Structure formats: C-alpha cells, structure tokens
Structure 1
Amino acid sequence: MEQEIDENIQSYTLYENSTYMVVSKVAYLIGVPKTIFENEHEPPKMEWYEELHQDKNARIIRNLCMLRTSIERNFRKISLAMKYDLKSILSLPEYIPQECLSQLTLDGISIYRSNAQPIQYILDINKHIANRINNCKSLFPIWLKWEYLRPIFIMPGGTTEKGTKAAAEEYYSNIDKYPYQVYINWSFTSSVGNLLYNDKKFVRLLYEYHEDYFADMSKVSDAGQIAKDGIYDFLERSARTAVVVDCENADPYKLYATLKNLDQAALLGKISKIILYDDIHTATAWKILEWFTQIPIEHNMIERIKENKSLVDIRLTTGTCREFFQNNTDSFILVSSDSDYWGLISAMPEAHFLVLVEDEKCSSAVKKAMIDAGITYCYTDDFCTGNSDEIRIQAVLNEVKRVLDSEVQFNIREILSEAYRLTRANLSTAEREQFYARYIKPMRLVVDAEGNASVQLGPL
C-alpha cells in the first residue's frame, strides 16, 4: 500500500503542471469518443475537440479511425451479419457509427462498397489514413517530431490481410492497455497506464518508444495555478494596469507564452496596454508582438546617443512615472530581470508592482528584496512555450523576407528585354506572351541540401 502511494506521488510530481494540447489533438484524431472530451476530469480537452472539428483534414482522419476501431472491435459480429443477414455497413448502426460515414461523405470520402467484407473495409480505411495523415502535420507544433507521431495512426502491414490480422491480434490481446480502447499503432509490451494522461507523459513515452529523449519540458509544462492566481489577484485589486517591458532584459517569446497561457478575459478587462521600451540591438520579434495579442501595444524605440550606452532603463523609469501621475495607472506588471529597476519600485510605494522575471537572470538578492517588500513576482520560464510557435515562425519569416527584399531585387521584364536583345531570337509579341506564361511565371526558388538557393524557370 505504501509503495502504491509512493508511486502515485512520484507520478504526480513527474507530470505536475503539464499541458494537454498534444494529447487532446491525438485523442481527437484517433477517434476517442466525444463524451471523454466532455468529461472535465479526463485529459482530452473540449476546446481542442471544437477547434479540430472545424478542420476538414482532421475530421476525415478522426472518422476513418473511429470506423477502423469500430470494425475491429465488432469484426466477428459484422462478418456474421453480412454473411447470413446480407447486411452492409449502412445497415449496422449498432456496430458501425453511421455519423462517421455521413461526415466522410460530406467531406468527399466514399467508404461504402457493395458486397464488401469487413477486412476489405479495414484495408481501404488504412489506405485512406496513410494517404491523408500528412494533411494533419500542420496541426502539431514544429518542435514535436512528426516522424515519431505519424506512425501512431498507421496500421503496420495494413495494406495486406496478413498485416491487418496480426495488428488485430495485438489489439485484441491488449485492448485494455490502448487509450480508451481505441486502436493505435503502439506495442504495449508493458503497462504504461493511460498513454494520453497529459503532454509530459505522452511526449516522453513517444520519444522513448523511438529510442530518443525529449529534453525541452518547457514545451509541455505550464505555470501552476498558484502562480496564475497570483497574477489574477493582482489584476483584480488594480483599477488600471499597464505592462511595462524592458526589451533588453526580457524574452519576447516567453512574454508571449505567459500572456497566451493566462485567461484572456482577465487580461483584456484589466490591462490597458503593453508599453515596450526597445533598443535597436534587441530581438526583432518585439516588432510583431502586437500581431498576436488583443492588448494595445505602445512601442518605444529608444535611440542611443553613444553606441555603447543604452537609455532604455532611464526611459522606462520616467515613462512609468508618467503613466502613474498623468494617466492614473495605479498598477504595473514590470517585465525585466534587471536589478536596476528595484530603485523604481522602492521609490514609488503608492504604485502596485508585479514583476515577471527569468529565473536564471534574476539575482537571489533581488528576489529576497521583493519578498521582504511584499512584491509579487513570478517566472516567465514557468509558462508553456509549446504553443508559441506562431510568433517564433513569423519572426524568422519576417527576418528572412527582410534580407531577401534587400538583397534579391530584380525586374524580370527588364531581364527578358535584355535577353531578347542579346539572343536576337526575334520572337513575335504573341510568342513573347506565351514564353512569359510558360517559362517565366512558373519560376520558383529551389533550395538544395546545403541551403543554397537558385531560381528554376518553368518546364523546358
């Protein structure tokens, strides 16, 4: 009994404060019943069900997987009904979910075959899943290896009767080990409990299954409810709050992750604006933060008088004072790990401060001073970064586009005119229009394995 309690405690601490985004999406796609999502005590979350159900590619995979599981679990009964009662999959609602067939038809997938046996349906479904599962790759974050996740949906040997029979025997002999008894491609050689318990557990086991190790647990961990409640309580006690950011001593992606993982209604109702005090040497991602939040952003780019001397700290200090005295802002969420701002906090006892810091960048002396003064602080490191791909990707794309725009500028019609002159090809006006449409308009950028880019013209 004591050993069981110890194992439960270890399991809780190992998976404490996990997210549920990955397991909810996997659960949706493999066909976990909707009732599981509706049960607030189960890991898969309804918010992800509703989001994925709007995606045609996700719906198709879900309905195919649900049909496959239903046929496998009722294979003998369906076979007998088809053989002796001349039933089809369209007339066996007790074994085959008819809503799946209807939704697949609406989404352009036809499953029904006259005089087909259950094994033929399994083969067809497996082919459809194998051909279409890559359409769901974009539903998952780029930090999760798709080559590990994709095989979960593919039945091994699923295009042959021998392969499907072997997979079925594996499923039947271990059915209670499968998540919610739904078929997936996973060899349950030992008990792992609920594979979809949370993201921490699932991703760790997924990588171990492929003899790999998932290192960045910040992608599947979120701040605990105590930390979040501290922020909500601070906002509740405030009349008007501004977020003040020292862009030199803060991470734009961690701040975005922090904002995204908080209750948006609580933020929008209390935070009047986010004020960025930026320098030319900081991350360019600060420029696009406003694209990803509904909170108004005031972006102050601070010029340098001396190249080696930043003025961000003094401008932030004076700006915060102005917000307090001129704009009646009584509370500030200060985003910085710089100890210089302790002077600002201690000099304004009338204002309320909550400080967001990065653990490794904030000294223990500053943390102790905040505790002694009753200043609430929390770590941006604690908030889940796994759902902040969008701002990271956009920041990189913007920077690549900026460089390309500055270095790769040409007018293709001017190049063509010079080519016509040098080659003396004497093409007529109609021929030139056809040439342009066939060879120039389809041109594209080709990138080789080393990252070298070249322009490839249309077909020759």
Structure 2
Amino acid sequence: MKEEQLIAEVLYGEETADRSRYALYENGTYMVISKFAYLIGVPFHIFENEHEPPKMEWYEALEKDKNARIIRNLCMLRTAFERNYRNIFQAMRYDLKGIASMPEYIPRECIDQLSADGLSIYRANAQPIQYIIDINNHIANRINNCKNLFPIWLNWSYIRQLFIMPGGTTEKGAKGAAADYYAHKEIYPYQVYMNWSAPSDVGNILYNDKKFVRLLYEHHEDYFTDMSKVTDAGLIAKNGIYDFLERSNRTAIVVDCENADPYKLYATLNNLDQAALLGKISKIILYDDVHTTTAWKILEKFTQIPIEHNMIERIKENKSLVDIRLTTGTCREFFQNDTDSFILASSDSDYWGLISAMPEAHFLVLVESDKCGPDIKRAMIDAGITYCYMDDFCTGNSDEIRIQAVLNEVRKSLDEAVHFNIQELFQEAIRRTRAELSTGEQAQFYDRYLRPMRLNVDKEGNVEVLLGPL
C-alpha cells in the first residue's frame, strides 16, 4: 500500500493521492464481500443502507441457508461478547444473569435462531470467556459447511482463516485476541470481530470484491491475478447497451461461435439487467462449427432468452461456412422476421461488410479486446456503431456454466472409457473361479462386496475401484 501511495503522489500530487487510490478498485463487484459480511455478522442495517457495499440481495439469499445462518449468529454473538465483555462479566457475576437475560449486550434473536437451527450454546455457571471459547469451537467445526457459498476461483483457506480466532480455543489465546481487537477496533470493518490485522490506512476492506480479494491475498503474501473475476463493466458500457435496446423494437443476439467466447458472452448477459434483456431480446442465434467448444450446447440452460442453435456442417474440412451462414441468417431475420436490431457477438472484421451493407438495421457489436483490431474499431466509431468489450464484464459470478461444461465432458469421457455391468462381471468371475455359490450366497456376496463399490482418486488423478464394505 505504501508503494501505491507513492505512485499516486507522483502522478496526482500529495493532495489527491488518497483519492486516487480508490481508482485501483473502480468497478469492483460485491458478491464476495456481501457473502462474507453476512457470515461474519455485519449488522442488518448495513445491508439495508443502499450506500453501503454489502448488498441486500445476498443477505436475503443466505438467510435461507441453515449453515450460513448458524455461522452468522455465532459470529454476531462472538462480537457481542468481545464488545461488551466487562458489562457481561459483571452482570453474570454480580446480578447472576444468564446470556438470554441481557439483550442490551447479547442479541437474544441470535440465541433463539441458533436453537431453532439445532445448536444450543447455553452453559451452566459459565463465564464469558468460556462462551467465547465454545463459540470459537463451533465456528471452527462448522465454517467448512459454508465453503460452497464461495466461488472455486477464491482460495477458501484464506477466507476460512478470517473466521478463526488465533488461539481462540484456550483462555490465554482468546484473551490475547480480544486485546488485539480492542487496541485496533477501528480497522475492523463495521467493528465486527474477525481474524484480521492490517495497517489502519487501508480503509474499509469490504469496500468491494476487488479491494477485499486483493488485500486478502496480499495478507497471505500472495497475489490475485484474475481481476476479471471481481471487476464488472462500468455504467457507461452498460447504459450503452440499455440505450441500444430501448431504441429497438425487436432485437436478436447473433453469435459467431468461432470468434466468440461462450463464457464471456454468458458473463456479459449475466451482469446486465435481466428485465431489460427479456423485454427486448427475442432470441439468441448461435452459428456454430464442429470445431468450437461444446460449451455452446449448454448455454440455453443458463439463460431465459430462447436459443436457436445452428450447427454448420463443413463441405471442405479446412473451410468454415459459419460467416456466410451468419450473414444470410441475419439478413433473413431482418427482412422476414421484422428484427430491426442486432447484437453481434464476434471479433471478426469480416462482418463489417454485413454491417455496412444493412444501414437500415441497427447493430451493437460485442468484441474481445485482444481479438479486435484497431481498424475495425475505428470503422465502427466513424460509422456511429456502438461496440463494447465482453472482457469488461465480471466473470466471477459466471462459474456455473464453466463448471457444467467441464463436468459434461468428464461424464462423456467416463461413459466412453468405463462402461460395464457389475452383475455380468460377477457371473463371469464365478465361472472363471469355479466357485460354487448358491443363489442366496451370490445375493449376500453382491450386497456385501460389490454394491458398496466406490472410487478412490489419488493426488495424481489415478482412479482405483475399491470393493467391499466401507
């Protein structure tokens, strides 16, 4: 952070250096920090405030998850004990109060919700420090239940550590962590306890995903490289698309599957206002080739917009017909189906011929920055054609299509590589060994040794079939 401050002072001057550092985190997303804020126990009113980073949509989603609720309530109780330790200690010692009878210090709704979710934290004749130790144990034992709430591109061990109080399972460790919290309370986001120690000048680490993930990895002497996961397109790019759709009567998205990335296209669609898309876009037309990624086949599972998938056969193996079929198909949509506007997803400059030959139609072009040359971009600017980069849209919340595509290919390969009937193998084994097994013995053998069969995968990915009971 000191290096960033120095660079900012050189570029902008000392007075604007602090402000310039926020440019490092422009257009950050809010998915990760909203989920983390919910779990770590950031108060509800922070989510309600539209000017604060954590978003209410994620609060509402996680409230339906039992595992998430348990962690949130445990973390809220831990923070309450840390903030009000002296008052709680005196109330327990001198007024003989229990944790449920001091709502001014300990949120009763957290205790009730934990009980409803099957977890009681009551202890007879316990001191506050014992409650803190118990809560730390519950969090450590249960936090992995929330691992799947975070995307696979984020290092889970880094996230998990934020919930674990250092030495928190012993009285000495818990008191030491409490002392550190009190001494630096201002650096904790919303003054909620977490396992965090950093210079106080970094500001709110939950400012957005971009800032949080960057600082989190730096905290572990690591570097987060793929900022596309935590950065979304700005309002200028999105409003350009919305304005285009608003001016159109009927819009189709036309995709050159040879020159477009299915994951980036999905990320683009996924990060736009779905109501605006569904109200204006009639369909997505895919012009595909046998040599493109199979991910195009599952795109329809991840969008409500109707998909028309055209698989273009090749007459010559070395000659694709996608471009000519896309061109003629777009013309047919315009003249036969009254589609007046097209969003063309392709970085191929050859389609400038299509765009320039149809001045009556309206075009918006989705390109990839490293595939689209300066000449075609200059031509679009001169002709007043709107274009935007698919690379600018956040890919961090679009892993579902990538995961599903890979799983489909793995299943396909497994079906081709491994396909057998265990009953047939069993009967062949009996025949070869000449083991005389009665019908009853065969049934028991099958249930005991073959039905429980399972796979063991080692670190190198080698697969072994294990027989017999667990």
TM-score (norm 1): 0.98
Deviation for aligned residue 1:458 = 2.6
Q: In structure 2, what is the equivalent of residue 115 of structure 1? A: 125
Deviation for aligned residue 1:11 = 2.0
User: 1:330, 1:351 within 8 Å by CA — same for their partners in 2?
Assistant: yes
User: 1:218, 1:386 within 8 Å by CA — same for their partners in 2?
Assistant: yes
Q: How does 1:243-392 map onto structure 2 within 5 Å? A: 243-392=253-402
Partner SS for 1:345:
helix
User: 2:253, 2:343 within 8 Å by CA — same for their partners in 1?
Assistant: yes
- Amino acid paired to 2:450: I
Q: Share of identical aligned residues, percent?
A: 78
- Alpha-carbon distance between aligned partners in 2 of 1:405 and 1:65, rounded to the nearest angstrom: 45
Partner SS for 2:68:
helix
Aligned pair 1:196/2:203, yes or no? no
Aligned pair 1:17/2:27, yes or no? yes
User: 1:333, 1:354 within 8 Å by CA — same for their partners in 2?
Assistant: yes
The CA deviation string for residues 29-77 of structure 1, in whole angstroms up to 9 with x for no partner, is: 1000010011111111111111111111111100000000001111110
Deviation for aligned residue 1:3 = 5.5
Aligned pair 1:65/2:75, yes or no? yes
The CA deviation string for residues 353-389 of structure 1, in whole angstroms up to 9 with x for no partner, is: 0000001101100000000000000000000011111
- Alpha-carbon distance between aligned partners in 2 of 1:97 and 1:426, rounded to the nearest angstrom: 69
- Alpha-carbon distance between aligned partners in 1 of 2:433 and 2:133, rounded to the nearest angstrom: 58
Q: 2:88 aligns with which of 78, 96, 114?
A: 78
- Alpha-carbon distance between aligned partners in 2 of 1:184 and 1:349, rounded to the nearest angstrom: 59
Q: In structure 2, what is the equivalent of residue 183 of structure 1? A: 193
Partner SS for 2:206:
coil
Q: 2:410 aligns with which of 385, 388, 400?
A: 400
- Alpha-carbon distance between aligned partners in 2 of 1:32 and 1:406, rounded to the nearest angstrom: 50
- Alpha-carbon distance between aligned partners in 2 of 1:193 and 1:434, rounded to the nearest angstrom: 66
- Amino acid paired to 1:243: I
Partner SS for 1:299:
strand
- Alpha-carbon distance between aligned partners in 2 of 1:39 and 1:119, rounded to the nearest angstrom: 33
Aligned pair 1:127/2:137, yes or no? yes
Q: In structure 1, what is the equivalent of residue 241 of structure 2? A: 231
Deviation for aligned residue 1:397 = 0.4
User: 2:366, 2:387 within 8 Å by CA — same for their partners in 1?
Assistant: yes
The CA deviation string for residues 132-154 of structure 1, in whole angstroms up to 9 with x for no partner, is: 10111100011100111110000
- Amino acid paired to 1:264: Q
- Alpha-carbon distance between aligned partners in 2 of 1:7 and 1:110, rounded to the nearest angstrom: 50
Partner SS for 1:361:
coil
Q: In structure 2, what is the equivalent of residue 424 of structure 1? A: 434
Q: 2:42 aligns with which of 32, 39, 54?
A: 32
Deviation for aligned residue 1:189 = 4.5
Deviation for aligned residue 1:190 = 4.3
- Alpha-carbon distance between aligned partners in 1 of 2:366 and 2:37, rounded to the nearest angstrom: 34
- Amino acid paired to 1:179: P
Q: In structure 2, what is the equivalent of residue 446 of structure 1? A: 456
- Amino acid paired to 2:245: L
Q: In structure 2, what is the equivalent of residue 205 of structure 1? A: 215
User: 1:174, 1:188 within 8 Å by CA — same for their partners in 2?
Assistant: no
Q: In structure 2, what is the equivalent of residue 156 of structure 1? A: 166
Q: What are the ranges of 5 or more consecutive residues in structure 2 without an aligned counterpart? A: 1-8
- Alpha-carbon distance between aligned partners in 2 of 1:5 and 1:24, rounded to the nearest angstrom: 32
Deviation for aligned residue 1:426 = 2.2
Relative to structure 1, the CA distance from residue 154 to residue 434 in structure 2 (aligned partners, 3 Å threshold; closer, same or farther) is same
Q: 1:41 aligns with which of 17, 27, 51?
A: 51
Relative to structure 1, the CA distance from residue 5 to residue 41 in structure 2 (aligned partners, 3 Å threshold; closer, same or farther) is farther
Q: In structure 2, what is the equivalent of residue 222 of structure 1? A: 232
User: 2:186, 2:200 within 8 Å by CA — same for their partners in 1?
Assistant: no
- Amino acid paired to 2:412: R
- Amino acid paired to 1:61: I
Deviation for aligned residue 1:239 = 0.4
Q: In structure 2, what is the equivalent of residue 87 of structure 1? A: 97
Alpha-carbon RMSD: 1.3
Partner SS for 1:433:
helix
- Amino acid paired to 2:30: Y
Deviation for aligned residue 1:94 = 0.7
The CA deviation string for residues 227-255 of structure 1, in whole angstroms up to 9 with x for no partner, is: 00000000001000000000000000000
- Alpha-carbon distance between aligned partners in 2 of 1:257 and 1:404, rounded to the nearest angstrom: 29
Q: In structure 1, what is the equivalent of residue 149 of structure 2? A: 139
The CA deviation string for residues 100-143 of structure 1, in whole angstroms up to 9 with x for no partner, is: 11111111111111211111111111011000101111000111
Partner SS for 1:157:
coil
- Alpha-carbon distance between aligned partners in 2 of 1:189 and 1:230, rounded to the nearest angstrom: 40
- Alpha-carbon distance between aligned partners in 2 of 1:214 and 1:203, rounded to the nearest angstrom: 7
- Amino acid paired to 2:75: C
- Alpha-carbon distance between aligned partners in 2 of 1:5 and 1:279, rounded to the nearest angstrom: 56
- Amino acid paired to 2:353: G
User: 2:47, 2:55 within 8 Å by CA — same for their partners in 1?
Assistant: yes
- Amino acid paired to 2:454: R
Deviation for aligned residue 1:5 = 4.3
Partner SS for 1:421:
helix
User: 1:81, 1:87 within 8 Å by CA — same for their partners in 2?
Assistant: yes
- Amino acid paired to 1:181: Q
Q: What are the ranges of 5 or more consecutive residues in structure 1 without an aligned counterpart? A: none
- Alpha-carbon distance between aligned partners in 1 of 2:26 and 2:377, rounded to the nearest angstrom: 24
- Alpha-carbon distance between aligned partners in 1 of 2:364 and 2:137, rounded to the nearest angstrom: 55
- Alpha-carbon distance between aligned partners in 2 of 1:403 and 1:33, rounded to the nearest angstrom: 48
Deviation for aligned residue 1:429 = 2.0
Deviation for aligned residue 1:427 = 2.4
User: 2:457, 2:463 within 8 Å by CA — same for their partners in 1?
Assistant: yes
- Alpha-carbon distance between aligned partners in 2 of 1:383 and 1:452, rounded to the nearest angstrom: 37
- Alpha-carbon distance between aligned partners in 2 of 1:72 and 1:190, rounded to the nearest angstrom: 20
Deviation for aligned residue 1:256 = 0.3
